Amino acid sequence: MADLVGHGITVPLPSGWEGRIGIRQPVLSGAVTGPALRTLAGAAAGADGADDGSGNRYPVTHLANFALPADRGDFGSGAVDIMGTTDCLVALIEYGPENVDTALFARRPSLPQPGATDFDPNTLQHKIRSQLGYQRFCTVGGRAFCVYVVIGGSRNLVPLAGSARSVLGGIRIGAAR
Amino acid sequence: MSFTETVVNKLATGWRSRRADRRSFLAGAAVVGSAVATSPWRWATTPISAYDAVCGEGALCEQGWSVFCCSINAGANQCPPGSFVAGWWKADNSGFCCGSARYYIDCNAMCGSDWQCRCGSGSCDQRRVACNQFRYGQCHQEIACYGPVVCRVVTCTPPWQFDASCTATSLTDNRTVTHSAPCLPGNCPSELTKFYYDRGGPGGRYGPVTAPERNSAAGGRVMTTRGALIYQLRTGGVQVATGAVLAKYRALEGSRGPLGEISAPMSTATDGGTTATVATFQHGMIVAAPGWTRAIRGTVYDHWRRMGGFRLLGFPMEDQAVAGTGIRQLFQRGVIYDFPGYPPFLVNNHYLSLYREMGYAGGLLGAPRSDEVRPTDGRQYYTTFEKGRMYWTPERGAVALLQPLFDAWKATGAERGPLGYPTGVQKRYPNGSHAMAFQKGNLYYTKAHGAHMIFEPFLAKWRNTGSTVHSRLGLPITDRVDRSGSSRVTTEHGAMVSSAAYGVHLVYGPIYKVWQAAGAEGGRFGLPRTDVFAVGDRTRCDFQGGILVYDPATGKVSEL
C-alpha cells in the first residue's frame, strides 16, 4: 500500500487503486482546455485558492480502482463514462474556507463513509445506466469537502461500497498547504 | 465566406422552406448560430436539423443530464418556484461566452416541494427534470436539506458576482460545454443579451424582447423588453431602466419622443430626505421618487442644468405645463419659463414665494425676462419681469417693483439714480395710486399727477408720521419745490413745508385750504411753525402770522 500525499491530504492507496490530488490549472480565455487536473508532479507550481478570474480553485482528489483518464471533470465526468460494473470512483472535492462550518458543510470528526444502502441510482451528477452514487458535504479538520462516490454496478454494490468505505476511512486531513 | 456564413446560406437557401420570410430567416439564423457554436462539425457534415444540434450533446433524457430551466420554466433562465440556487460549475472556452467560461447553476428542489422526476419535452432539450439527487454546493449553504436538481441556469457571468449566496469555489466540467437549449442565447451573445439572460431572459423579470438590440443615437447599444430598457453606453457597463421610469419614457414616446435616447448610467438624487431614481436622456431626464415620476426636457431641461440642476433647484414639482403662450415647470427651489421669442428664464427661490403670491407669469409681474442678476455694485440681486422687477437681499428677502413706479424709477436712472435700490413693499391703493420706499427716497404715483419723489428733509418727516396722517395728507403730487426761505412738497390734501427756522411741518385738511387760500407760505399766515395737531375735538396749526383752528362740530376754520 502506497500513500498519495498532497495539499495536506494523505491517502493510503489500496492495491489496485490509483489516485490524483491536484488543483486545476487556470485556463486562459480562448485557450484550448488541457488535462483536467494537474498531477502531483506539477502541484508545487500552484497555490491553494488560486483565482484565474473564474473562481478560486482548491484541491480535488480522485481515487479509482481503474485507470483514470487524463481529462476529467471535478466530479468525475470522463471517468464515470468508462467505468465498468466492478469499478469504483471516489472523489474528494475541497471548497474554500468561506464554506467551512456552514449548515451544508457541517463539522464532523472524519470523512463520511457510505454503507451499501446509502447508494442510489439517482445520486449522480448525471445518470448513467447501472451506476449508483453517494454524496455528502462536511467540514473535517477545518476544511470543507464534498465526498462523492460512484459505483459501476449494483451487482457489486456491497464489496465496492466496502472498498470505498475503506479508502475514505484511511484518508487523513491535515492543514492545507 | 466564413463557416458561419456558409451554413447560414445553407439555411437560407434550402433549410425547411424556401418561402421563409425575413423574420423566420433571422430566427433560423440565430438557431444556426447556436448550432455552429455547439456542434459545428456535426451540424455541417451530418443530416441533422439545427434544432437538434442547438441543444448540444447529452440532450436526451436517457443520457442522464439535467434540463435547462428555460426549457421548463416558461422561457425563464432562472430557478423555478420550489427550487433554489444550490451550486455551480463552469465549462471553459465556451463558444456561448465568446471563448470565456460558461457557468451552469443548479437549481435544486426545496425539501418538501412536490417536484417529480420526468423528462423534458417540447424542444430538443429533453434532459431530466428533478431526477438527479446531486449538488455542487457553492450556493445557499445555509440550506442543508435539498432535493434533486430541477434544472440549470446558464450565464457568462461568474455566479458569485450577481448572486451573493454563492461562493467562488470553482469547479469545472468541460464535458458540458456544448450543452444548450433553444431558449438560451446563441454563440457569443452581446453584453446586453448576456445581461438580459442573466436576469431570466424572455421568461424572466424583464419579459420578452419588444425591440431588438440596436445602435443608440446617444452611442452604445440599446434593447427594449416588455419590462425594461436595457442599454450599454460607449463607456461600458450595462444599465437598465424599469418601472415608473420606463412607463414615463414610453408615455413620452420613447426614443422617438422629446427625450431622445438614454445617454447616461442610471443614478439617484437625494433632497430633503427624498431619494429619487434618475434616468438621463439626450434631451432630458426622468426623475422617479415614491409617489411621483416627472420628466424635465427640452429647453427647460437645458436651463435647469445651467442653473444648477438638482443641487440648486431640486426636484421637479410637476411636469412641464402650458403657461399662456409658453411653458412652465416648477421645481422645489424655482420655476423656469420658456416663452416664444425669449430664451428660458429662471425665477429662483429668492423670489418664488412672492412670485407665487403675485400669480406667477399670469399675475402682476408677468413672465420673467431675465435670470437673477447679481450686480457687482451692491448687494441687491434682481430678476426682471414683463411688468416689473423683483429685488432680493438676504436680510429683507424679495420685494417687487411694479408698473408704473418701475418705469418712473428707471427714468430716474434706476438703482444708479437718486432713489437707489428699493427697500420696501410697493403699496397699491384702490384708486390706482402706488407708493414705494427706496434707499434714498420715496416714489409715488397718482393717476392724476403721475410719479413724484420725496427726499430729505421731507423723507424723515414722512417716515416718522403714522398712516392716519398719511391718509389725511394724501400722496405727493409734486416733486420738491423751492422758494425763498422754504421748500415744499404738495400732496393730494395738503403739503409738507420745510424751512430753516421751523423745520418740516405737515399742513392738511380744512386748515390747509384756508392757509392755501390766504397765500400759503407767501400769505399773511406765512410758514407753519407746527404740524396740524389735535386740541380736544378740534385741530390746530400754528403759523408765523397766526394760528388756525378747525372745529369739526361747525365745519369752520377760525383764526385764534
A24 part of contact set with chain B, CB < 8 Å: yes
Domain boundary among B179, B205, B231: B205
Amino acid at B498: S
Predicted confidence at residue A28, as pLDDT, reads 56
Domain boundary among B139, B174, B205: B205
Distance from CA of B177 to the nearest CA of A (A): 11
Closest CB from A55, A75, A99 relative to B173: A75
User: Which carries the bigger pLDDT value, residue B380 or residue B289?
Assistant: B289
**Whether pLDDT at A48 is above 80:** no
A147 part of contact set with chain B, CB < 8 Å: no
Q: Residue B415 — very low, low, confident or very high, per pLDDT cuts 50/70/90?
A: confident
Q: Measuring CA to CA, which residue among B81, B247, B96, B245 is closest to residue B184?
A: B96
**Whether pLDDT at B17 is above 50:** no
Stretch among A29-33, B193-197, B516-520 having the lowest mean pLDDT = A29-33
Regarding whether B67 and B18 lie in a shared domain, the answer is no
Q: Measuring CA to CA, which residue among A111, A145, A103, A105 is closest to residue A7?
A: A145
Q: Residue B45 — very low, low, confident or very high, per pLDDT cuts 50/70/90?
A: very low
A93, A127, A148, best to mutate vs chain B, most B CBs in 10 Å: A127
Predicted confidence at residue A27, as pLDDT, reads 66
Predicted confidence at residue B469, as pLDDT, reads 82
Predicted confidence at residue B468, as pLDDT, reads 83
Contacts of B89 in chain A (CB under 8 A): 73-75
Rounded to an integer, the average pLDDT of B415-436 is 90
Domain boundary among B164, B180, B205: B205
pLDDT tens for A91-108 read 999 999 999 999 999 999
Rounded to an integer, the average pLDDT of A53-64 is 89
Collapsed DSSP state (helix, strand, coil) of residue B397? strand
pLDDT tens for B313-353 read 999 999 999 999 999 999 999 999 999 999 999 999 999 99
Closest CB from A75, A98, A133 relative to B167: A98
Regarding whether B101 and B47 lie in a shared domain, the answer is no
B121 assigned to some structural domain: yes
Predicted confidence at residue A52, as pLDDT, reads 54
Distance from CA of B228 to the nearest CA of A (A): 29
pLDDT tens for B429-457 read 999 999 999 999 999 999 999 999 999 99
Regarding whether B11 and B49 lie in a shared domain, the answer is yes
- Give the rounded percent of residues in chain B with a pLDDT score beyond 70: 90
Rounded to an integer, the average pLDDT of B476-492 is 94
Contacts of B132 in chain A (CB under 8 A): 122-127
Q: Do B167 and A99 touch (CB under 8 A)?
A: yes
Q: Residue B50 — very low, low, confident or very high, per pLDDT cuts 50/70/90?
A: low
Q: Do B175 and A30 touch (CB under 8 A)?
A: no
Q: Do B174 and A31 touch (CB under 8 A)?
A: no
Predicted confidence at residue B30, as pLDDT, reads 40
Predicted confidence at residue B301, as pLDDT, reads 97
B94 assigned to some structural domain: yes
DSSP B97-166: GTTS-EEEEEEEEETT-----EE--SSS---EES--------B-TT---EEEEEEEEEESS-HHHH-TTB
Q: Do A127 and B131 touch (CB under 8 A)?
A: yes
CB B484 within 8 A of CB B525: no
Contacts of B168 in chain A (CB under 8 A): 51, 55-56, 96
d(CA B254, CA B262): 9
Predicted confidence at residue B333, as pLDDT, reads 96
CB B526 within 8 A of CB B514: no
A101 part of contact set with chain B, CB < 8 Å: no
Q: Using an 8 Å CB-CB cutoff, list residues of chain B that contact chain A.
A: 58, 62-66, 89-90, 92-93, 99-101, 117, 128, 131-138, 140-144, 148, 158, 160, 167-176
ipTM: 0.89
Which secondary structure element, helix H or strand E, spans residue B305, and what is its range? helix B298-306
Contacts of A31 in chain B (CB under 8 A): 92-93
Q: Residue A24 — very low, low, confident or very high, per pLDDT cuts 50/70/90?
A: confident
Closest CB from A52, A96, A104 relative to B143: A104
B146 to chain A: closest CA residue: A104
Regarding whether B89 and B29 lie in a shared domain, the answer is no
Chain centroid to CA B246: 15
Q: Residue A12 — very low, low, confident or very high, per pLDDT cuts 50/70/90?
A: very high
Predicted confidence at residue B9, as pLDDT, reads 33
B451 assigned to some structural domain: no
**Whether pLDDT at B44 is above 50:** no
Rounded to an integer, the average pLDDT of B202-208 is 94
- Tally A–B CB contacts below 8 A: 128
A59 part of contact set with chain B, CB < 8 Å: no
A128 to chain B: closest CA residue: B64
Predicted confidence at residue B376, as pLDDT, reads 78
Stretch among A21-35, A109-123, B157-171, B224-238 having the lowest mean pLDDT = A21-35
Q: Do A126 and B142 touch (CB under 8 A)?
A: no
Contacts of A103 in chain B (CB under 8 A): 141-144
Predicted confidence at residue B300, as pLDDT, reads 97
Domain with B191, as residue range(s), is 61-205
B130 to chain A: closest CA residue: A122
B272 assigned to some structural domain: no
Regarding whether B128 and B13 lie in a shared domain, the answer is no
Q: Do B174 and A74 touch (CB under 8 A)?
A: no
Q: Residue B121 — very low, low, confident or very high, per pLDDT cuts 50/70/90?
A: very high
Distance from CA of A159 to the nearest CA of B (A): 23
B427 assigned to some structural domain: no
Predicted confidence at residue B32, as pLDDT, reads 43
pLDDT tens for B259-293 read 999 999 999 999 989 999 999 999 999 999 999 99
What separation in angstroms does the CA of B548 have from each of A86, A127, B485, B536, B542?
A: 140, 125, 22, 15, 6
Closest CB from B131, B141, B173 relative to A74: B173
**Whether pLDDT at A39 is above 90:** no
B147 to chain A: closest CA residue: A123
Predicted confidence at residue B21, as pLDDT, reads 34
B376 assigned to some structural domain: no
Predicted confidence at residue B416, as pLDDT, reads 87
**Whether pLDDT at A127 is above 70:** yes
**Whether pLDDT at B188 is above 80:** yes
User: How high does pLDDT run on average in chain A?
Assistant: 86
Amino acid at A99: N
Contacts of B63 in chain A (CB under 8 A): 126
B553 assigned to some structural domain: yes
**Whether pLDDT at B506 is above 90:** yes
Cell numbers found for residue B506? 405737515
Predicted confidence at residue B378, as pLDDT, reads 67
Rounded to an integer, the average pLDDT of B32-37 is 47
Please give the tally of structural domains in chain B.
Answer: 3
**Whether pLDDT at B1 is above 60:** no
User: How high does pLDDT run on average in chain B?
Assistant: 89
CB B530 within 8 A of CB B544: no
B194 assigned to some structural domain: yes
A57 part of contact set with chain B, CB < 8 Å: yes
Predicted confidence at residue A26, as pLDDT, reads 76
Phi and psi at B222, nearest 5°, equal -150, 145
**Whether pLDDT at B11 is above 70:** no
